[in-house]
Amino acid sequence: MANPAKISKNKDGSLNVPDHPIIPFIEGDGIGPDIWRATEAVIDAAVEKTYGGDRKIEWLELPVGEKGYAQTGNYLPQASLDTIETHVVAIKGPLTTPIGKGIRSLNVAIRQRLDLYACVRPVRYIETVPSPMKFPEKINMVVFRENTEDLYAGIEWASGSDEAVAVADFFKSKMGVDLPPASGIGIKPISPANTKRLVASAIGYALENGFSSVTLMHKGNIMKFTEGAFAQWGYEAARDQFADRTITEAQLYDRYDGKAPEGTVVIKDRIADMLFQQVLLRPEEYGVIATPNLNGDYISDALAAQVGGLGMAPGANIGDVCAVFEATHGTAPKYTGLDKVNPGSLILSGAMMLDYMGWKEAGSAVRDAVQAAVKARRVTYDLARQIEGAQEVKCSQFAAAIVGQMK
């Protein structure tokens, strides 16, 4: 086998993935070490069983979070960010945000400092997982959530602060806007460039993965120049970059009698509150959803609840230079070191990572084995207490059960 080497990117955005790639990982805090060990075992087994030893991942640990602080005095060392950037693909467990250390969120800081502008959250039902829905198998959606602006820009000032008073005075004197006394103030920026690159990535994903539509989720009936503009710029991105492969919903019915031409994606938009109804009542009508930051935060978690919760919800943060795949839940510190919690979110994020690398056979092997293990009812406590006849196993045992299901 060739020596380990970095993944690299071509000018067109495609990846050069060696047979023995070096992939950085961040173990994470709290339950992070437990779920990472489980994930590493499953991913390694999938690669080995799928490619018969011709391919293998060389894992490279990065000190971030509590381990980063212990080793370097910095919760988010620049060297770790540089390593992710130069290696193109990385995976991470959940991180604790240090209290009073000047960082609002380590997870958000990683996304912003690496310009990982698309938070990608696939939501698909795993048979046997308890769900509040009557027909959870109809849910197969992928949320593309903008990661760098809207509320994630973090532009706000506290009630009574000098900055808030100055902003309020500016609004009153220059804009004729009178704010309530002592208001806390936040700014919600949404830009054409950042919107268009997000929507373009969502459309590209839909085309590559066989989704029939991309829905632009927004609250443009109220916030016309931010959320409404998001929808307008989304349509422009489709028209300017994918003219021959996209049609609008109006065109679908006016020109094609409701039947989209083969190989095209329908671009449509929905008001945010209405879409929450639609994904409950008519989930089969929605595939990829592109959304500003806050809407995406809400709907991705709501969709995860429809298929059983965040414990089995994968996620990724993807930019033009690099991508970081991650568990979508928190650190659950009360379970630290107990080998107890469900590693499914990080394992399925690892499957997303394998897909992204072009190792889709291995990614499918992971998902199929997770489904088989759940169906066999050998699951961690969170699922065992809800699944009739289930056997509760530890985090590491669940990973072993998944590996045991691989063909």
Which amino acids are annotated catalytic? 152, 219, 273, 297
Sequence-distant (6+) residues with CB within 8 A of 178 are: 171, 172
Question: Which residues are 120's β-sheet partners?
Answer: 144, 316
**Is 87 labelled a binding residue?**
no
**Is 334 labelled a binding residue?**
yes
**Is 329 labelled a binding residue?**
yes
**Is 332 labelled a binding residue?**
yes
Paired tokens of 269: 């938009």
CB distance 120 to 290 below 8 Å: no
Rounded CA-CA distance 266/273 in Å is 21
Rounded CA-CA distance 194/146 in Å is 8
Paired tokens of 127: 């048979």
Give me the helices (H) in 53-105, please. 66-72, 78-87
Paired tokens of 343: 């590693």
Query: Cα dihedral sign for 130, 131, 134, 137?
Result: negative
**Is 121 labelled a binding residue?**
yes
CB distance 83 to 23 below 8 Å: no
**Is 105 labelled a binding residue?**
yes
The SS3 of residue 64 is coil
Rounded CA-CA distance 41/264 in Å is 39
**Is 111 labelled a binding residue?**
yes
**Is 385 labelled a binding residue?**
yes
Q: Which residue from 268, 269, 280 is spatially nearest to 218, judged by alpha carbons?
A: 269
**Is 239 labelled a binding residue?**
no
76 φ, ψ (degrees, to nearest 5):
-135, 80
**Is 293 labelled a binding residue?**
no
- Provide the CB-side half-sphere exposure for 77 (13 A, CA): 17
**Is 331 labelled a binding residue?**
yes
CA 277 to chain centre: 22
**Is 10 labelled a binding residue?**
no
Would you list which residues are annotated within the binding site for D-threo-isocitrate? 105, 107, 111, 121, 145
Annotated binding site: 96, 105, 107, 111, 121, 145, 297, 329-335, 342, 381, 385
Residue ranges at the known binding site for NADP(+):
96, 329-335, 342, 381, 385
Q: Known binding site for Mg(2+): residues?
A: 297
